[in-house]
A and B are shown apart, each in its own frame.
Chain A
């Protein structure tokens, strides 16, 4: 099982070794997908590999150590009722986060998402939204 999260460390709260330390403590593997360092914060997007309990533990420790944790499947919202299954987003998605079901309805797996926002920006009926970070 894998779970994508976005972690924000305000100011200088982040040290390189911190993630390794938490990985050891929670018994998970965390793969960094993208890191953004600014004068005000460090933002890391990554994927926790491990069962639900261990992933939960990983996020709990992160929060305790000053990280702000956002789960991608909570931050990205897909409104099935609004969707017309036109499929415009399917070929725009750079990963496997958006695929067709067999009946040509559209399914989202935000644990594959890299927050490129193409689906959010292009959906003609505003069925996908980003709840912010």
Chain B
């Protein structure tokens, strides 16, 4: 696609006051009405933004040297009672937003210290170091404000995170998650992101975003410094690492957060200008809430892979109601569309006034990286399962009872010819058949809601299911429902006992 203008052309227009800037939401209407070709001709820059709760954020702080000097590096640093990472030079620290205060726990954390710093409040410093010949002081106490620091540089390893899943809860108990409280029996749906206003949805191929892209960060100016952690652009789940001078930031756009029974975080306001260099970029900026798909998962299952409840999109989520099965469930976000809209407007104004110029990235963001799960040594269901003793639902109970005695089994799995799970049969079911006079397996076996396990399921999860549902065993099935084995409490205790 040939470009119709360059970033330098845009900057020249910013300088002359002729630049045409629109917000992400305005651009959607323009593209829908006039098409991408015409939109690209008319618009120079689109402002996109997000204001969401972030956990991978923090700041590098330099305190200056004490007299006599202290080597806090390798020691311990507390800022308003919140520990900061001290494994750096003698008076440097990195304060992460999820770090909890030693005394106040989740009521106050690193995110709150950052908000207080930016708000101009005085912060207490306590530090302990090892006494060396050149740095003899062991312990210091002090008070400082952001102006007393040599540097306060925000560096967020994961920012502008593109894709989040939404959450709900099918169980009969309230659960507390990083998306807040999830009420029982599909009581609510919680989601993140501002959807189609969110920066990376507007340039999903990173045509204009790269290392060195100037952005709006926390009310000041920041820069993209590379791909973010968990950057996975192929899955439309990109992220950026960003930095900015915290001394120029504003409290309105950086707010400490406490999430009940979960921890602390920081709401970060971030804005990204997208230069409309060609009609393809204009087309991408036309993306709508309806086009952005979101999966709603059931968070009552604590495994990484959770059951999918519904495939939806941001249009439905933002409407405040999501239809799950027969019912309408209230939905609300944890990213502020209100403040993100404000940031889009603010950036637009800054660019129009000539206070904010665009930059040419010096390097592209990778499009290849893929996020892998953690590699852990854990016991899986397949490690402890025993071979399933199977029968057919059509078998006579007498034959099966004989087989159970022969094989010393009190738990049988009924399968079809393809070895797919049909039901389970316990010795209790056989006992019942004597009373009821039933003769076939299919008449007495448990058919519905058979609890199952998967072969790579952590054994802790299988044990929880065995306890929770009071069942004797869990058939281990693959994606096609084929039975691979059975996990029984006895298998687990044998394994643990060695």
Q: Using CB atoms and an 8 Å cutoff, list the residues of chain A in contact with chain B.
A: 84-93, 100, 103-105, 118, 121-122, 124-126
Min Cβ gap A46→B in Å is 25
User: Are A87 and B53 in contact (CB-based, < 8 A)?
Assistant: no
**Docked complex: B218-269 residues within 8 A CB-CB of A:** 255-260, 265, 267
Bound complex: CA A104 to CA B257 (Å): 19
| Total A-B residue contacts, Cβ distance less than 8 Å | 71
B318's closest neighbor in chain A, by CB?
A: A104
Contact of B330 among A90, A105, A126 (CB under 8 A): A90
- Is B19 at the interface (CB under 8 A from chain A)? no
User: Are B341 and A103 in contact (CB-based, < 8 A)?
Assistant: yes
User: Are A103 and B190 in contact (CB-based, < 8 A)?
Assistant: no
Bound complex: CA A90 to CA B183 (Å): 13
Contact of A92 among B51, B183, B265, B341 (CB under 8 A): B183
B112's closest neighbor in chain A, by CB?
A: A125
Q: Which residues of A contact B330 (CB under 8 A)?
A: 90-91, 93
User: Are B339 and A88 in contact (CB-based, < 8 A)?
Assistant: no
User: Are B188 and A91 in contact (CB-based, < 8 A)?
Assistant: yes
- Is B334 at the interface (CB under 8 A from chain A)? yes
Q: A88-B190, A91-B330, A118-B181 are in contact. Are A104 and B337 (CB under 8 A)?
A: yes
Min Cβ gap B72→A in Å is 31
User: Are A122 and B180 in contact (CB-based, < 8 A)?
Assistant: yes
- Is B390 at the interface (CB under 8 A from chain A)? no
B194's closest neighbor in chain A, by CB?
A: A104
Bound complex: CA A125 to CA B320 (Å): 21
- Is B331 at the interface (CB under 8 A from chain A)? yes
User: Are A92 and B338 in contact (CB-based, < 8 A)?
Assistant: no
B interface majority secondary structure: strand
Bound complex: CA A122 to CA B106 (Å): 12
User: Are B333 and A92 in contact (CB-based, < 8 A)?
Assistant: no
Min Cβ gap B309→A in Å is 15
Q: Which residues of B contact A121 (CB under 8 A)?
A: 181, 260
Min Cβ gap B247→A in Å is 22
User: Are B334 and A86 in contact (CB-based, < 8 A)?
Assistant: yes
- Is B332 at the interface (CB under 8 A from chain A)? yes
Bound complex: CA A93 to CA B180 (Å): 13
Contact of A124 among B51, B189, B259, B338 (CB under 8 A): B259
Chosen A-B contacts, 9 in total, with CB atoms closer than 8 Å, are A84-B267, A86-B53, A88-B180, A89-B332, A90-B330, A100-B320, A104-B336, A124-B265, A125-B267
**Docked complex: B29-64 residues within 8 A CB-CB of A:** 51-53
Bound complex: CA A87 to CA B52 (Å): 11
Bound complex: CA A104 to CA B190 (Å): 15
User: Are A86 and B267 in contact (CB-based, < 8 A)?
Assistant: yes
Q: A118-B181, A122-B180, A124-B53 are in contact. Are A88 and B334 (CB under 8 A)?
A: yes
Q: A92-B188, A104-B337 are in contact. Are A125 and B331 (CB under 8 A)?
A: no
User: Are A87 and B188 in contact (CB-based, < 8 A)?
Assistant: no
Q: Which residues of B contact A85 (CB under 8 A)?
A: 336-339
Q: Which residues of A contact B313 (CB under 8 A)?
A: none
Bound complex: CA A128 to CA B392 (Å): 60
Q: Which residues of B contact A89 (CB under 8 A)?
A: 332
Min Cβ gap B462→A in Å is 32
Q: Which residues of B contact A126 (CB under 8 A)?
A: 258
Q: A84-B267, A86-B336 are in contact. Are A122 and B260 (CB under 8 A)?
A: yes
Bound complex: CA A28 to CA B339 (Å): 42
Q: Which residues of B contact A92 (CB under 8 A)?
A: 180-181, 183, 188, 332
- Is B335 at the interface (CB under 8 A from chain A)? yes
User: Are A91 and B267 in contact (CB-based, < 8 A)?
Assistant: no
**Docked complex: B260-308 residues within 8 A CB-CB of A:** 260, 265, 267
Contact of B189 among A84, A91, A104 (CB under 8 A): A91
Q: Scoring B residues 118 to 152 as 1 if CB is less than 8 Å from chain A, else 0, what string do you get?
A: 00000000000000000000000000000000000
